[in-house]
Amino acid sequence: MSTSTDGQIAAAEEQKVPKRQTPFSQAFREFIPQGWEPYDSTPPAPLASIPSATAHRDALAGAFPGERLVIPAGTLVRRNNDCDHPFRPHTTFVYYSGLGTDREPNAVLVIDTTPDAPVRDVLYFKPRAPRTDREFYADPTYGEMWVGKRESLEEMSAMTGLVCRDISELDAALAAPGPLRVIRDADPAVTARVDAARADAADPGKGLGAGEAGSKGSAADDEQLDVVSSDARFCKDAWEVEQLRDACRKSKVGFEAMIADLPTAVEKGRGERWMEGIFGLHARHLGNNVGYGSICAAGDHANTLHWVRNDGDLHPGELILIDAGIEVDSLYTADITRTFPINGTFSPAQRKVYQAVYEAQEAAAAVATVGHDHKEIHQAAIRVICEYLAEWGILPVSVDEAVSPEGGQFRRWMVHGTSHHLGLDVHDCSQARREDYSGPLRAGMVVSNEPGIYFKSTDLLVPEEFRGIGVRIEDDILITDGPCQWLSEDCPRQIDEVEAWMREIWAR
């Protein structure tokens, strides 16, 4: 029980204000709540994600009857001193809440399938405080004067279709009897609270029911929630597919803007950074952000797979490999790579390498259908690549030996896989069971198709004409009962089409 006086409480409250903030006088505190127009009582429009998120929650609830599933949004992550990174909610939270953009730091979704639960799905978050509260003017994390007007419980409920409660009520929900599972990596503070609720339940001294050890679950149970929720995301519904199509359409705008600015980027120096900036501009303008750090890799940089430093110059005669995708407001992302000749025309050596990668991508697409396993996409691509490597006299063993598990020599020139699942995460469903991830393709899955060949300038085993050339072509494909659909097909990828695309943009 606290014995603090009101004065001590006020002083403690003031200490939460950043040190460099001038203390607020009593006169100011009395003055600030007065004279404001009342908040608009029109409820915000419901999010278009509601039907999809509701179906996702129904499926998850069905998988864990009689339990309480805790899915945090995550917290703001400090960049340095008192500056945070832009907030991006945890993917599992996005999938089950339907919230996107930067909503909502420190929120927690609880899906309660215990028999006595009065309501199954509840979103706990910190609602907007009234203007009489010091949060309004003094709180740089939540205050309206600092970050804008946030939602009330009723407004958030109208947006999400969820019952909403104040985050201060979360602990009571965690303490109620019944097993808990939490997405452990989303918010360490919430995970600690779940673990504390488990420890309390297991402690006879707490009077919560002796012998309840383990009755509220364990970290191993949490892992199962990760696996099941990751598996659940494999097959996209129609709304999710439309989000991914939209992400591809918007990414095309970004790619066209980069092509248009290639000559400027050559002139300015540090042209890779210019490309990154142009794409980033369109990502922020048309969507939420880039879905991952853009790779803008000119010349030999293309042979560094995750070249995100992007500080190189662009030289006419060389290629630039650009791997970039826009994440739309619902947080679904595209993942597209195109490799362009900086001067608009592929050299004969560049053509040869590009054509090999193109044919590998076509072969991969041919097996990207129901009836094949996901891993066959990679197998189909590497066989074509190995055939070309053999034709060029580079492969030290036969094609069959190279593609066998005991071989793999081709990986010197293509060390990455050809395909991953794509969705809210650029590498989606990564906690899913391995056999599910690489197993049978199902209608509704969206995967990348991204073969490449990377010949480092220092690779003495490679014919001189190829050294320093790196090519990847990456598209996003939807698995259907028939042939796969290319969600990113609006971005040309054949050699002649790419050159024509560039000419057409430069003539605009």
Region of 106 on the Ramachandran plot (φ > 0 left; ψ -120 to 50 alpha; else beta): left
Rounded to the nearest whole angstrom, what is the least distance from the CB of residue 422 to Mn ion in the complex? 7
Q: Which of residues 454-483 bind Mn ion (CB under 5 A)?
A: 474
Q: Are 272 and 296 in contact (CB under 8 A)?
A: yes
* Binding site partner of 112, from ligand GLY, Mn ion, none, Cβ cut-off 5-8 A by kind: none
* Binding site partner of 222, from ligand GLY, Mn ion, none, Cβ cut-off 5-8 A by kind: none
Rounded to the nearest whole angstrom, what is the least distance from the CB of residue 337 to Mn ion in the complex? 5
Q: Say which residue the tokens 């009593």 belong to.
A: 26
Q: Say which residue the tokens 């879905």 belong to.
A: 291
Rounded to the nearest whole angstrom, what is the least distance from the CB of residue 405 to Mn ion in the complex? 23
Alpha-carbon distances, residue 386 vs 163, 197, 383, 481 (angstroms): 56, 56, 5, 29
Indicate the helix (H) or strand (E) that contains 8. helix 6-15
* Binding site partner of 272, from ligand GLY, Mn ion, none, Cβ cut-off 5-8 A by kind: none
Rounded to the nearest whole angstrom, what is the least distance from the CB of residue 290 to Mn ion in the complex? 11
Contacts of 404 (CB under 8 A, 6+ apart): none
Establish whether the linkage from the previous residue to 104 is cis, with ω within 30° of 0: yes
Q: Which of residues 402-431 bind ligand GLY (CB under 6 A)?
A: 420, 426
> Which range touches Mn ion (CB under 5 A), out of 150-158, 226-234, 303-311, 448-456?
448-456
For the record, the structure tokens of 126 come out as 């910190």
Indicate the helix (H) or strand (E) that contains 196. helix 188-202
How many binding residues for Mn ion (CB under 5 A)? Answer: 5
* Binding site partner of 292, from ligand GLY, Mn ion, none, Cβ cut-off 5-8 A by kind: ligand GLY
Q: Which of residues 388-407 bind ligand GLY (CB under 6 A)?
A: none
Rounded to the nearest whole angstrom, what is the least distance from the CB of residue 425 to ligand GLY in the complex? 10
Alpha-carbon distances, residue 193 vs 14, 70, 170, 187 (angstroms): 26, 11, 9, 10
Q: Which one of 112, 139, 272, 323 is in contact with Mn ion (CB under 5 A)?
A: 323
Q: What angle do CA 9, 80, 12 make, to 5 degrees?
A: 5
Rounded to the nearest whole angstrom, what is the least distance from the CB of residue 474 to ligand GLY in the complex? 6
Q: Which one of 256, 272, 335, 387 is in contact with ligand GLY (CB under 6 A)?
A: 335
Comparing C-alpha atoms, which of 79, 42, 245 is closest to residue 154?
Answer: 42
Q: Are 93 and 71 in contact (CB under 8 A)?
A: yes
Q: Per CB under 5 A, does 448 bind Mn ion?
A: yes
Q: Which one of 450, 455, 468, 491 is in contact with ligand GLY (CB under 6 A)?
A: 450
Please identify, using beta-carbon distances, which residue of 92 and 448 lies nearer to ligand GLY: 448
Task: Please tell me the distance from the alpha carbon of residue 100 to that of residue 332, in angstroms, as a whole number.
Answer: 9
First-last CA distance in the chain: 73
Q: Which of residues 35-74 bind ligand GLY (CB under 6 A)?
A: none
Query: What x-and-dash track marks residues 95-134 binding Mn ion by CB under 5 A?
Result: ----------------------------------------
Q: Which one of 376, 387, 474, 476 is in contact with ligand GLY (CB under 6 A)?
A: 474
Task: Please tell me the distance from the alpha carbon of residue 427 to that of residue 114, in angstroms, as a whole number.
Answer: 33
Please identify, using beta-carbon distances, which residue of 314 and 426 lies nearer to ligand GLY: 426
Q: Are 326 and 333 in contact (CB under 8 A)?
A: yes
Q: Are 338 and 473 in contact (CB under 8 A)?
A: yes
Greatest Cα pair distance in the chain: 85
Q: Which of residues 294-323 bind ligand GLY (CB under 6 A)?
A: 323
Query: What x-and-dash track marks residues 351-390 binding ligand GLY by CB under 6 A?
Result: ----------------------------------------
Rounded to the nearest whole angstrom, what is the least distance from the CB of residue 94 to ligand GLY in the complex? 19
Q: Per CB under 6 A, does 246 bind ligand GLY?
A: no
Q: Which residues bind Mn ion (CB under 5 A)?
A: 323, 335, 448, 450, 474
The footprint of ligand GLY (CB under 6 A) covers 292, 323, 335, 420, 426, 448, 450, 474
